[in-house]
Amino acid sequence: MRTIHAVKVATILPILFASANPIVNGDFQTGALVPSTSAYTQSADKLPAQTWAITSFDTLNPSWTDFRDHTTGDASGYFMVVNGSATGGGPSWSQEIVVLPNTHYSLSGWFASVNAAAPAALEFRVRDAPGVIATYAFQLPNTAAVWTNMTCQFNSGSASVLTVEVWDTTALAYGNDYAIDDLSVTVLPQLRITAFLPLQTTLSWSTNAVGFRLETALSLPAASWTAVTNVPAVVGSQFTVAVLATNAQQYFRLHHP
Ligand SMILES: [Ca+2]
Ligand SMILES: [Ca+2]
């Protein structure tokens, strides 16, 4: 008996297609925070805890390392710097986004410590109207000025509007200082078998999934995955690919290279 299983494997790599990103100005390239908000106070020198600023290089705080943003890496780029909460307040960054209901999403951001002392423990929180639907806690590096990607996944459930937030959770005044850049939310496509004929099966996934490629392997765990070179057709809102099904078993995944 021949069986073909479609499996979805999420990428942990940065999402490259900002056009599909419902977060507006997540790269801070306007030089301003809006339309994002912060529960902290805007401050030029950022010396007090629970303050923030948008900068292109000079973090101003004399204890902090100066460095370029993640988006451009040069003087044209801006990022958010935060002196974390001493009392557990927050969020330090927040934005309301429009989403498709019952859809899997990837949430990604780039973070750096601005001081090697007491690097911040941060948390993504995604909330709908009733409350928090997803959290992801992560620790920033104990080396300053090293941009690090953090990614988590969530499902929008019945919501069409969600709020995405960044919190620092250590409640320390000393240290607990960090930089944020290139926040993005991207649809994670569902790979489905939509037709199963003798010796041929058809796989499909959303055309919103720009940049994903179909790959296959004959066993799991796979030592390597091979790209399916058949050019996808577009049927409605779906990419579709028909493949030969002549193996005893075969697995497929979508991968964002
Ligand atoms: Ca930036
Ligand atoms: Ca601090």
Q: What span, in angstroms and rounded, lies between the C-alpha atoms of 98 and 109? A: 18
Residue 40 Cα to ligand 2 middle (Å):
12
Give the pLDDT score at 216: 93
Q: Which ligand is nearest to the CA of 77?
A: 1
pLDDT in tens, 90-127: 999 999 999 989 888 999 999 999 999 899 999 999 99
Give the pLDDT score at 248: 84
Residue 234 Cα to ligand 1 middle (Å):
34
Q: Which ligand is nearest to the CA of 56?
A: 1
Residue 42 Cα to ligand 1 middle (Å):
18
The mean pLDDT value for 213-230 works out to 92
Give the pLDDT score at 19: 38
Superfamily of domain 18-187: Galactose-binding domain-like (2.60.120.260)
Residue 36 Cα to ligand 2 middle (Å):
21
Q: Which ligand is nearest to the CA of 54?
A: 1
Q: Which ligand is nearest to the CA of 84?
A: 2
Pick from 224, 207, 196, 180: nearest CA to 78: 180
**Residues around the ion ligand 1 (C-beta < 5 A):** 27-28, 69, 71, 77, 79, 181
pLDDT in tens, 119-158: 999 999 999 999 999 999 999 999 999 999 999 999 999 9
| Joined tokens for residue 63 | 């204890």
The residues spanned by each domain of the chain are 18-187, 189-255
Residue 24 Cα to ligand 1 middle (Å):
12
Q: Which ligand is nearest to the CA of 74?
A: 1
Residue 82 Cα to ligand 1 middle (Å):
14
Residue 77 Cα to ligand 1 middle (Å):
5
Average pLDDT across the chain, whole number: 89
Residue 237 Cα to ligand 2 middle (Å):
47
What topology is assigned to 189-255 in CATH?
Answer: Immunoglobulin-like (2.60.40)
Q: Which ligand is nearest to the CA of 61?
A: 2
Residue 217 Cα to ligand 2 middle (Å):
49
